[in-house]
Amino acid sequence: MARRKTDSDWVQTAFSSLREAGYRTGGARSQVVELLGCEDCALTALEIDRRLRAVGRASVYRTLEQLEGLRLVQRVDLGGEAAGYERVSPGGHHHHHIVCESCGKVVPFEDPGLERAIKRVSLEASFEVAEHDVTLRGICARCNG
């Protein structure tokens, strides 16, 4: 699920957006951005904190909040106790998740038809819709025996 290939476009974009937004470039924030850049699916704040020993937990949360505000990162609830965060490629395709209720496995998927349906609903709504997320829950093939 986790790709080791960094999405340097996103990392690049993230840094410039942060700069434009008036944030200075400190070590903690950069590390969080870099980490999110090489992870394709959701990571919880605690996982990030665990992987980034040198970074304080508070900084992880603060950075995630800022990135979320700039829509560079999206928060997703995958049913576990902690919230997940994953990068959003501006304009690029994004994915949704299927979660196994038995073993907790999370699998990402994409579906153009689903995106179209959501787009349509978004346009009809009285809200100005900026983002969306979809979560399917069920039992994975392995757990299903």
Partner DNA sequence: ATCTGTGCAAATAGTTTGCATCCTC
Partner DNA sequence: GAGGATGCAAACTATTTGCACAGAT
The binding site for DNA (CB under 7 A) comprises 22-30, 44-46, 54-59, 61-63, 65, 81-83
CB contact burial 12-28 (16+ within 10 A = b; e otherwise): ebbbebbeeeeeeeeeb
- The nearer residue to a second copy, 52 or 107, going by C-beta atoms, is 107
Sign of the C-alpha dihedral computed for residues 81, 82, 83 and 89 taken in this order: negative
Partner from DNA, a second copy, none contacting 55, C-beta within 5 to 8 A by type:
DNA
Chosen residue from 27, 34, 117, 123 binding a second copy by CB under 8 A: 117
Partner from DNA, a second copy, none contacting 63, C-beta within 5 to 8 A by type:
DNA
H or E, element range at 9: helix 8-20
Closest CA to 86 of 127, 117, 47, 137: 47
* Min dist. Cβ of residue 126 to DNA (A): 28
**Which residue type does 94 have?**
H
CA dist 130 and 122 (Å) reads 9
Does position 129 interact with a second copy (CB under 8 A)? The reply is yes
- The nearer residue to DNA, 84 or 88, going by C-beta atoms, is 84
Does position 101 interact with a second copy (CB under 8 A)? The reply is yes
* Min dist. Cβ of residue 124 to a second copy (A): 8
* Min dist. Cβ of residue 22 to DNA (A): 7
CA angle 124, 70, 58 (to 5 degrees): 130
- The nearer residue to a second copy, 8 or 103, going by C-beta atoms, is 103
